[in-house]
Amino acid sequence: MTAVTPAPPSTATPAAPADAPPPRRPGGRSRLRAAAGFAFGAALLFAVAPLALSDFRLALLAKYLCVAMVAVGIGIAWGRGGMLTLGQGVFFGLGGYAMAMHLKLADAGPGGMPDFMQLYGQLDELPVWWRPFASPWFALPATVLLPMAVAFGLGSLVFRRRVRGAYFAILSQALAAAMVILLIGQQGTTGGTNGLTDIQGFFGYDLDDPVNQRMVYFIIAGVLLALLALARQLIHSRYGELLVAVRDSEERVRFLGYDPASVKLVAYVVAAGMAGLAGALFVPAVGIISPALIGIVPSIEFVIGVAVGGRATLLGPVLGAVAVAWARTALSERFPGTWTYLQGLLFVVVVAFLPGGLASLWALARRRDADSASRRRGWFPTARRRAERAEVPTA
Amino acid sequence: MSERTERSEGRAGMPSRHGMSGDRLDGLSVRDVRVSFDGFTAVDGVSLEVPAGDIRFLIGPNGAGKTTLVDAITGLVRATGSVCFGDQELLGRPVHRISRLGIGRTFQTSTIFEELSVVQNLDIAAGARRSWATLVRRRRGIPDEVAAALETIGLTGRADQLAGTLAHGQKQWLEIGMLLVQDARLLLLDEPVAGMSHEERDATGALLETVSRDRTVVVIEHDMDFLRRFARSVTVLHAGKVLSEGTVAQVQADPRVQEVYLGHPVDAGSVPSGLEA
């Protein structure tokens, strides 16, 4: 007890502190690379795409980019937080309907009512819960805050009760089903199966005008880049590290004095906010929001894009979402009817053979000849790269 | 040597920003704790006092209720009775609240975050009291308490290595390091030296002695050689009850302990090898 060794002797720890390299951190170089990546992405979205694509294709791209925004959120909640959310359509829909309600009211003019209400609902006046959406000051924040509030309510109930894994996935999917049933059932005030269609204007701009469509595209591209920057900050923050820790070992995190429920809740709420924003921008880009766009099937399609691209990476979900959406359009144009089968096949192949998504292919190629010790799993390229950098000097 | 010891002592017991460790040394007091699962009583009225700064070993045959007792103390299973650390009652609080009172534990299987680096593991363990404003920012450099813990557990040179690629012993030290930065003042270690080499056991024992200077340590262990060298006191559990308690020599000389371990009482003279069974 008197002659105490201050630390486990260095015989047992080969890397003696004296000749160890100074601790390195994700610093300058990765930041520079990220800035270059963002500049490249911005150039692609703002210069190359508008010049290379026809108005029709550019409008399609705008739609894909909305799906990509949902994917960024799923990447955080599922890829980083381990919450397989099969109900992002709900939040996408809440954002979309909030925006569409405002635009419909704006189209109808002051004191007017959306056309479908007289048609199906035989209503004499606007339902109470529609009224606040006449004001852009209410409707615009609501597109994001409403989904976040719903996610907060659901998440608080579910995560504290330690519902996770498949149970959470099924529950979130049931929510999507419930939302669709509710919308269809209330046809007089929600437009039912048709949804809210035929949206003409966007804050005073005529959406039929190609110039304005282009403007909507630019807004969407800008918002997507902003969301990516936000996601990157979140992933590299202490919270991002904690979220991965919760994903990998929730129990252990609890024993460190954290409440994993609130850690997961934040990721879930952020993902819901992103989906809501995506839904809100989808409406002016496409001109419609309907139950068919937010139900179970679209919710699963959001997830497929993320899985194909690589859920745990920053760009994987975005690229995967755009690629799958693009493939869907391209293939349905040529071989109508086969897309559903191809999509299912794609999902099965990725889940079975490439759980890390396409992003892991790139990572695998990078480290083919490196040691096999850390190759056990293919879906965490950033941490592995960091480990590689750290290993070189000590070896 | 003395200078080095002193310096490292200052580090190991470095009072954190919260001033919680180092300046207060508390004991653990377990009174009449019972845990039952569907009619099976795993812990049957255990009472024990672990004085502040002790290194208490909990031993007993498989199924004696050692791990279940630790589960009860840390809030993982429901229990009746009373568990006090210092003047704080622990029973009835949720796991993460108990942890914030300064109770840290490890598990039989290593539960570090394998996909994160050593520093990230320690940084997360250090951060349970961080505000959200801190959490959403990036970590800059290595916090002092993390650097001190790295030094104490001898992993400074592996700070940026992925935890999953550490050797078995190093993973266990990382677990202990996480308890240190977590500001745990009571360490509950479940078989910390299982599967370790001789050098690693020695290093772990030395580490326990270092950390026990300003912390209370409870160790569940089957390794009797390790117990003889590092235990300051021993509690023997059997079938959910305390069978014997005292110093290593006292416990070894207890005929009831011999009976449990060997199946029959042994003459007190031939004891020393008795516990090795």
- In tens, the pLDDT along B258-273 reads 888 766 655 544 444 4
In order of start, what are the domains of chain B with their CATH numbers? 12-111+183-246 (3.40.50.300)
Lowest-pLDDT choice from A158-162, A261-265, B1-5, B205-209: B1-5
Give the closest-approach CA distance of B263 to chain A in angstroms. Answer: 35
ipTM of the complex: 0.75
Query: A22 in contact with B at a CB cutoff of 8 Å?
Result: no
- Comparing CB atoms, the residue among B117, B152, B154 nearest residue A387 is B117
Q: In whole angstroms, give the CA distance from residue A85 to residue A296.
A: 11
The pLDDT, as a whole number, for residue A370 is 55
Task: Give the mutation candidate from A1, A5, A236 for the B interface (greatest B CB count, under 10 A).
Answer: A5
Closest to A38 in 3D by CA, of A181, A232, A264? A232
DSSP per-residue string spanning A97-155: HHHHHHHHHHHH-TT---HHIIIII--SS--GGGGGGGSHHHHHHHHHHHHHHHHHHHH
Q: Does B1 or B22 have the greater pLDDT score?
A: B22
Q: Which residue has the tokens 């235990």?
A: B231
- In the block, tokens 């090898």 appear at B273
* Residues A257, B128: C-beta atoms closer than 8 Å: yes
pLDDT at B85: 93
So what's the pLDDT on residue B265?
A: 57
- Nearest Cα neighbor of B171 from B183, B181, B186, B161 is B161
Q: What is the nearest CA distance from B229 to chain A, expressed in angstroms? A: 10
Q: What is the pLDDT of residue A62?
A: 96
Question: A189-222 as b/e, with b when 16 or more CB fall inside 10 Å?
Answer: bbbbebbbeebeebeeeebeeeebbeebbeebbe
Name the average pLDDT for chain B: 83
In angstroms, rounded to a whole number, what is the distance separating the alpha carbons of residues B58 and B56?
Answer: 7
Taking 50 as the pLDDT cut, the residues of chain A under it are 1-26, 369, 371-395
Say if the Cβ atoms of A8 and B140 lie within 8 Å: no
- Indicate if the pLDDT at residue B4 is higher than 50: no
What's the rounded mean pLDDT across residues B174-186?
A: 91
Round to whole Å and give the CA distance between B74 and B78. 10
**Rounded Cα–Cα distance for residues B11 and A10 (Å):** 18
Asked if A12 lies within 8 A of B12 by C-beta distance, the reply is no
Q: What are the start-end ranges of the E strands in B94-154?
A: 103-105
- What the block records as the tokens of B73 is 């103390």
CA–CA dist A191, A206 (Å, integer): 22
| Pair of tokens at residue A103 | 């635009």
pLDDT exceeds cutoff 50 at B10: no
Partnered with residue B244 across adjacent β-strands are B236
> How close A6 comes to chain B (CA, Å)?
6
Distance, CA of B172 to CA of A354 (rounded, Å): 32
Q: Is the pLDDT of residue B216 over 60?
A: yes
Can you give the pLDDT at residue B141? 83
- Contact between chains at B142 and A23 (C-beta distance less than 8 A): yes
Domain boundaries, chain A: 44-339, 354-395
- Give, rounded to a whole angstrom, the gap between the first and last alpha carbons of chain B: 38
Q: DSSP labels for A288-319? A: -B-GGGTSHHHHHHHHHHHHHH-TTSSSHHHH
Helix, strand or coil for residue B47?
strand
Structure tokens, B181: 């930065």
Does the pLDDT at position B88 exceed 70?
Answer: yes
Position A380 scores a pLDDT of: 44
- Summarised one tens digit per residue, pLDDT across range A111-158 is 888 888 877 767 788 888 999 999 999 999 999 999 999 999 999 999
pTM given for the model: 0.81
- Residues constituting chain A: 395
Chain B residue closest in CA terms to A252? B111
Residues 238-257 of A with CB under 8 A from B: 238-239, 241-242, 244-245, 248-249, 251-257
How many angstroms away from the CA of A167 is the closest CA of chain B?
A: 22
Q: How confident is the model at residue B38 (pLDDT cuts 50, 70, 90)?
A: confident
pLDDT at position B118 over 50:
yes
CA B11/CA A45 separation, integer angstroms: 53
Distance from CA of B63 to the nearest CA of A (A): 23
Alpha-carbon span A23 to B142, nearest angstrom: 8
In degrees to the nearest 10, what's the CA dihedral of B88, B90, B93, B97? 70
Closest partner CB to B113 (pick from A7, A245, A374): A245
- Contact residues, A window 344-383, toward B, CB-based 8 Å cutoff: 373-374, 376-377, 380, 383
Which member of B100, B112, B206 has the closest CB to residue A257?
B100
Q: What is the DSSP letter of A55?
A: H
For residue B212, what is the nearest residue in chain A, using CA coordinates?
A1
Residue B62 has pLDDT above 70, yes or no: yes
B167 CB contacts (<8 Å, ≥6 apart)? none
A17 interface with B at CB cutoff 8 Å: yes
Nearest by CB: B161 against A239, A252, A387: A387
A7–B151 C-beta distance less than 8 A: yes
Question: Are A237 and B136 inside 8 Å of each other by CB?
Answer: yes
Whole-angstrom distance, CA of residue B57 vs CA of residue B229 = 11
Contacts of A261 in chain B (CB under 8 A): none
Burial (Cβ within 10 Å: 0-12, 13-18, ≥19) of residue A132? middle
Higher pLDDT: B137 or A220? It is A220
Residue-wise pLDDT tens digits, B221-260:
988 889 999 999 999 999 899 999 999 999 888 888 888 8
Which of A1, A252, A376 comes nearest B111 by C-beta? A252
